[in-house]
Structure formats: structure tokens, C-alpha cells
Amino acid sequence: MPRWSIAYVRLVDRLCAGVGRFAMYLLYAMMAIMLWSSITKFAEFPAIWTLEMAQFTLVAYFMLGAPWTLRMDTNVRMDLLYARFSPKGQALWDVFTVFTMMFYIGVMLYGAIDSTVYSFTHGERNPSAWRPVLWPLKLIISFSFGLMLLQSVSILIRDVAILRGERI
């Protein structure tokens, strides 16, 4: 495989690993938010921001963890036939299916960017008592879809390497 493709795969893998590691710690942030919510409710002084902030943290955790899930190949797969294929057969099947995934992620990325721009330019807020702005969360979602698209290209390069009898 060309050096640029190996460098691309390694760079994207490191980036997704770093973002995935950051996302892992968001669970602790969410637990702290929920603990604070419990404390303030017990003290009869409930905070209005805790439920939404916990939800936003969960969305960030889920979306920022998705590229790492793709990288580690731990996503859910129906492998009634796939598991019976040889490694080259699996790579060949993945080469065909990765284009479907890339198309889907590309459409989602387009929609996420459009929604983020709208949210930023119009000052969109969540219709609740707290009324937080939504563009930071939408920016995280767009960033995550961008990383998933980069990771799917990395998966394609890896599968082509396997078909060529090489390992990255």
C-alpha cells in the first residue's frame, strides 16, 4: 500500500482513539450532573439545567464514541453468513458495504452541518425553562459524523490492503 494511505489510516485511528477516550470520560461527567441533580432535589432547591445537560452529555458520549466503535469493529452486525467467510471474503464484502455506509454518513453529515449552521445563525434554543443554545451540541454531532466518514475511508483502505495480501 502507498505510504500516504498507511499514514492516513494511522492518523485517523489515533484521532478516533483520542476522541473515543475523551467520550469515555463523559460518562463520569453525566454521573456528576445526575448526582448534583439528586442533591439539589433532596435539598428542595432543584436545578433546572441538570436533566437537559445530562441528555446533552449522553448525546455527546454516544456520538463521539461512534467513530471509535467503527475503528474497533464492535458495531452490531448481522453475521449469519459473514462469519463463515475467509478474511479475504470478509474484506471483499466490506469493500462493497462500506460505500453504502459512506453514502449514509455523508447524507447525515450534510444534514448535521445544515442544522448546525441554521442553529448558529438563528440562535436556536431548546424550548424549555433553561433554554440552552443548541449549536454546540449540533457541532459535536457534525464533528462526529465527519470522523465517522474519515474512519469509513480508513476501513476501506484496510480492506483493500487485506485483498492485496497486506496488513496495515
Summarised one tens digit per residue, pLDDT across range 111-154 is: 999 999 999 999 999 999 899 999 999 999 999 999 999 999 99
What are the residues whose beta carbons fall under 8 Å from the beta carbon of 37, sequence distance 6 or more?
A: 46, 47, 50, 51, 54
Whole-prediction pTM value? Answer: 0.91
Torsion of CA 105, 168, 6, 19, to 10 degrees: 50
Question: Could you state, in order of their start, the residue ranges of all structural domains in the chain?
Answer: 3-163
* Grid cell in block for residue 43: 435539598
- List the beta strands (DSSP E) in the chain: none
State the pLDDT at residue 74.
85
Summarised one tens digit per residue, pLDDT across range 26-79 is: 999 999 999 999 999 999 988 899 999 999 999 999 999 999 999 998 877 777
Give the C-alpha separation, 118 to 165, whole Å. Answer: 46
Summarised one tens digit per residue, pLDDT across range 68-95 is: 999 998 877 777 888 889 999 999 999 9
* Grid cell in block for residue 99: 460505500
